[in-house]
Chain A
Amino acid sequence: EPEVTQTPSHQVTQMGQEVILRCVPISNHLYFYWYRQILGQKVEFLVSFYNNEISEKSEIFDDQFSVERPDGSNFTLKIRSTKLEDSAMYFCASSLFDSEGEQFFGPGTRLTVL
């Protein structure tokens, strides 16, 4: 069964460093998303992406964040200068164009900013 994959599973970085979180969505999906969950808090929407551009982004997704689909396969989230409060589990998801909106999630990347 096709699945969304994410790498790495755990990333540790120093404050101020850039990180790139990688996702490979399900191959025939057209919509892509990033969410995050800070420990003990609700899952939060970051950004949705369709047709090579951002469809919607939350107030969390400021200038420090960017997304890219560089090669038609990968979908990346970049944080330019990480802050302590960026420590969270980051989930990638994808969905079909004509589905009921069911989103398929990857296993997540745990980002720890020291």
Chain B
Amino acid sequence: ILNVEQSPQSLHVQEGDSTNFTCSFPSSNFYALHWYRWETAKSPEALFVMTLNGDEKKKGRISATLNTKEGYSYLYIKGSQPEDSATYLCAFDAGNNRKLIWGLGTSLAVNP
């Protein structure tokens, strides 16, 4: 059974702090790793789709790294802002018709 784990489950930081969280996934049959940002009452929003070992992607203050050999990805947020408050989900894609296996998410709260 494919399993995706995320840690920590929740995180509270102060505005301006930098933070990071982890997604662990199976290291075999890897096709892609997706990161999504999900604000309450909104649609999950795609942040990154990562496919290459060692890859690093960046979008504004948010970046992500990928290690497919050991099966983990880190998401970093630099200088957190209250609007970054959301649940950050990762999903593992084994390439079988884009079926995504999801983690439980990391719930981030940024205090002003």
Contacts and interface: CB of A to CB of B under 8 A. Distances in A.
A105 B43 contact: yes
A43 B43 contact: no
Contacts of A41: 104
B49 interface: yes
A27 B64 CA distance: 30
Given A42-B103, A58-B99, A106 B34 contact: no
A102 B49 contact: yes
Nearest to A55: B97
A36 B100 CA distance: 12
A106 B97 contact: no
B43 A42 contact: no
B44 A102 contact: no
Interface residues of B, number: 25
B98 to A, nearest CB: 6
Interface residues of A, number: 27
A56 B43 contact: no
Contacts of A100: 32, 49, 51
B99 A106 contact: no
B97 A108 contact: no
A65 interface: no
A89 to B, nearest CB: 11
B101 interface: yes
B65 to A, nearest CB: 17
Interface string A41-52: 111110010100
A33 interface: yes
Interface of B: 4, 31-32, 34, 36, 41-46, 49, 51, 89, 91, 93, 96-104
Interface of A: 3-4, 31, 33, 35, 41-45, 48, 50, 55-56, 58, 91, 95, 99-108
